[in-house]
């Protein structure tokens, strides 16, 4: 049974730096990269791509966040289409935006598939992968949605619950090991199809932050 999420697609503040309502903090961080000339920016990005190769990374990792921030500046300047520097040979351009094809795996993968880590649109549908992977992620997604949906109960359902805060805390505690499983065990499976993978190591709806997630052996 595939998971059926009852919430809207997760939005990433790094995807909206061109808008007035973009994150002020990320706007501030981007200032340094905007001082770089086009060639230096593209060369640095290619160097980072080589370091990202063949690994699955937390989305909150400083290395990944710096790289993705550089992508927003590159996208604003339309540098991918100009091809000032050849893209690292390990990567293929994504059809949606031309940036290196690196998926972002999030907790709503069953509904929205793999996100493009550059522009946030759908990079690939989950159904397009081998049946074994689809079955594994659908089973994981159904389990996770059991707890995630508590954060999206309608007001009338919340009022009927004697202690909604306690229900939220229980859902958060149950979701934590599942989100760790997604990142540390399941997301790396996509390295068979992509040169690198990013995974979203938090869930704002359940107040789960990256520091809450630890590898299974810890």
Q: Residue 190: helix, strand or coil by DSSP?
A: helix
Within a domain: residue 7?
Answer: no
Are the beta carbons of 195 and 54 closer than 8 angstroms?
A: yes
The total domain count for the chain is: 1
In a domain, 145, yes or no: yes
**Would 176 be classed as within a structural domain?**
yes
Asked, for residue 84, whether it belongs to a domain, the answer is yes
Q: Note whether residue 66 is domain-resident.
A: yes
State the Cα–Cα distance between residues 52 and 73, nearest whole angstrom: 19
Burial of 188 (0-12, 13-18, 19+ CB in 10 A): middle
Q: Which domain holds residue 54?
A: 13-212
Inside any domain, residue 4: no
pTM of the entire predicted model:
0.88
Which tokens in the block code for residue 78? 């339309």
Judging by beta carbons within 10 Å of its beta carbon (0-12, 13-18, 19+), is residue 198 exposed, middle or buried? buried
Residue-wise pLDDT for 180-192, tens only, equals: 999 999 999 999 9
- How far is residue 66's CA from residue 57's CA, in Å, rounded to a whole number? 13
Residue 123: DSSP 8-state: E
Task: For 94-136, write each residue's pLDDT tens digit.
Answer: 999 889 999 999 999 999 999 999 988 999 999 999 999 999 9
Per-residue confidence (pLDDT) for residue 177, from 0 to 100: 96
pLDDT of residue 217: 72
Residue 6 within any structural domain of the chain:
no
Winning range, highest mean pLDDT, from 10-24, 68-82, 96-110: 96-110
- Is the per-residue pLDDT at 4 higher than 60? no
- 100 within some domain: yes
């Amino acid at each position: 049974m595939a998971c059926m999420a009852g919430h809207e697609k997760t939005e990433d503040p790094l995807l909206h730096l061109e808008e007035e309502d973009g994150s002020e903090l990320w706007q501030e961080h981007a200032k340094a990269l905007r001082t770089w000339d086009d060639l230096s920016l593209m060369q640095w990005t290619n160097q980072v791509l080589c370091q990202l190769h063949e690994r699955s990374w937390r989305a909150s990792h400083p290395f990944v966040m710096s790289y993705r921030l550089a992508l927003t500046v590159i996208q604003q300047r339309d540098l991918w289409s100009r091809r000032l520097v050849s893209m690292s040979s390990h990567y293929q351009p994504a059809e949606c935006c031309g940036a290196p094809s690196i998926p972002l795996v999030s907790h709503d993968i069953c509904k929205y598939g793999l996100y493009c880590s550059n522009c946030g649109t759908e990079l690939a549908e989950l159904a397009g992968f081998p049946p074994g992977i689809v079955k594994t992620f659908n089973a994981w997604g159904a389990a996770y949605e059991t707890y995630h949906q508590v954060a999206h109960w309608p007001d009338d359902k919340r009022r009927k619950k004697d202690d909604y805060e306690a229900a939220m805390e229980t859902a958060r505690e149950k979701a934590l090991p599942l989100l760790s499983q997604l990142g540390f065990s399941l997301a790396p499976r996509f390295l068979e199809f992509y040169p690198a993978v990013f995974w979203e190591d938090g869930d704002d709806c359940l107040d789960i932050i990256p520091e809450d997630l630890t590898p299974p052996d810890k």
